[in-house]
Amino acid sequence: MNQVQKLLIIGFVWPEPNSSAAGGRMMQLISLFKAQGFSITFASPAQDSDFMVDLPEYQVDKKSIELNNSSFDFFIKELNPSLVLFDRFMMEEQFGWRVTENCPDALRLLDTEDLHCLRLARQKAFKENRSFITTDLFVEEVAKREIASILRCDLSLMISEFEMELLESTFKIDNSLLYYLPFLLKPIDATEIQELPTFEERKDFIFIGNFLHEPNWNAVQYLKDTIWPLIKKSLPEAVLNVYGAYPSQKVMQLHNKKEGFLIMGRAIDAKVVVKEARVVLAPLRFGAGIKGKLLEAMQCGTPSVTTSIGSESMHGDLSWNGFIMDGIADFVDRAVQLYQDRTIWLNAQQNGFGIINQRYSKGLFEENFRVKIEFLRSNLPQHRLNNFMGSILQHHTLKSTKYMSRWIEEKNK
């Protein structure tokens, strides 16, 4: 195994770490595989964007690929990667069968980001004004597609323990197909803490989140209509700065200087604006995965008030970096208290540092992950024999996506 190992990442979009947590996550994975000595090619059918990372700068080859086009077959045959990472299940659906046909021995990994079916089922329940129940997942078409994709892959990377547990207990996915790999962050040391702005140097509240993500847009509307007017009544001098990539016209229309509700649009550097704020507000009412904005708050030493959905699977049995409140009155009271009480604020800040260092420090995961990948690559035939459901799905369902794709390709000619 002395030759350089090749990794092909098939991206849903080009990574934009300054626009979304998903972009940051992808760059963490790239750095993890780089450290393992992989030569990396990142391919995507997405259009280039103004905010994407310059991949060659990170010694990653960039390749544009097309959906429903056999040019991909020639490309992957020639590249011949030993490992393929699908960025979200939609990419596995599109390209998985081509990978299997042209590079059968390549280890196939899926980075789920968050469980899409869980996020969508919760969103649907919320819109129907009722509580989410587990059986909602079974009627979700996305669940069938996403679970099939997980079964077809050799390993799925999960960022949420709650979602791993859900897959094992509700969908009966074998534990050997799932791997817990949350966000991988640099530990926070005393010097860094010393350099952070103090309680007195900070002011105002902040919300930050990509507006293309429905849970974020919903949270901003909730802040505007319900939560912020109540906080503003208690703290007339305070302002809420709302930052996020890709704000639409309807987002911009919420800007109201008189109410202290300011739509700031994209932050050039999210960490800078989060460090200047005293409290992060994240009243998320549906969603899945773990929240990059709340980890970023902890890194910036900025306490937060969020909901049980917002904090799900993020802090284990450690105390939260602020408060977790689902009721409107409680959420408002705690936000005001955190904003005014220096002692409570400092304690919350310390909790955040503890969560980062004890749960997300990349050193806790790097070596175990390397060993896992080595083990799978050495035992791939046996691993696949054990995953009989996966081989059934490779046998039949894949054919439907395959022939659909072939048909589209013919039609396009």
| 222 pLDDT more than 90 | yes
pLDDT band at residue 399 under the 50/70/90 scheme = low
pLDDT per residue over 238-287, tens digit each? 999 999 999 999 999 999 999 999 999 999 999 999 999 999 999 999 99
Query: Over pLDDT 90: what percentage of the chain?
Result: 91
Q: Which CATH superfamily is domain 190-360 in?
A: Glycogen Phosphorylase B; (3.40.50.2000)
Model confidence at 413, pLDDT cuts 50, 70, 90, reads confident
pLDDT tens track for 143-153: 999 999 999 99
Return d(Cα 263, Cα 282) in angstroms, integer.
15
Q: In sequence order, which residues have a C-beta less than 8 Å from that of residue 51 and are 6 or more positions away?
A: 16, 18, 19, 245, 266
> Structure tokens of 334?
């705690």
What are the tens digits of pLDDT across the range 346-387? 999 999 999 999 999 999 999 999 999 999 999 999 999 999
Tell the CATH superfamily of the 6-184+365-412 domain. Glycogen Phosphorylase B; (3.40.50.2000)
What are the tens digits of pLDDT across the range 292-315? 999 999 999 999 999 999 999 999
Say which range, 54-63, 224-233, 400-409, has the weakest mean pLDDT: 400-409
Confidence class for position 410, pLDDT limits 50, 70, 90:
confident
**pLDDT recorded at residue 255:** 97
Q: Are 68 and 93 contacting, i.e. CB atoms less than 8 angstroms apart?
A: no
Instruction: Tell me what pLDDT residue 2 has.
Output: 55
Per-residue model confidence (pLDDT) at position 396: 60
Q: Give the amino acid at 154.
A: D
Q: What confidence score (pLDDT) does residue 398 get?
A: 56
Compute the average pLDDT of residues 15-32: 94
pLDDT at 34 over 70: yes
Helices (H), 249-341: 249-252, 270-276, 292-299, 308-311, 328-340
Q: Buried (b) or exposed (e) across 1-13, using 16+ Cβ within 10 A?
A: eeeebbbbbbbbb
Residue range 46-53: mean pLDDT, rounded = 95
Average pLDDT, the chain: 95
Contact (Cβ atoms closer than 8 angstroms) between residue 276 and residue 199: no
pLDDT digits (tens, 9 = 90+) for 59-81: 999 999 999 999 999 999 999 99
Separation CA 82–CA 154 (nearest Å): 13
Is 50 exceeded by the pLDDT of residue 344? yes
Q: Where are the domains of the chain?
A: 6-184+365-412, 190-360
Q: Which residue has the tokens 């980062």?
A: 356
Q: Check if 6-184+365-412 and 190-360 are the same fold.
A: yes
Q: 164 pLDDT exceeds 50?
A: yes
Sheet (strand 261-265) strand order: 261-265, 240-243, 205-208, 279-282, 304-306, 322-324
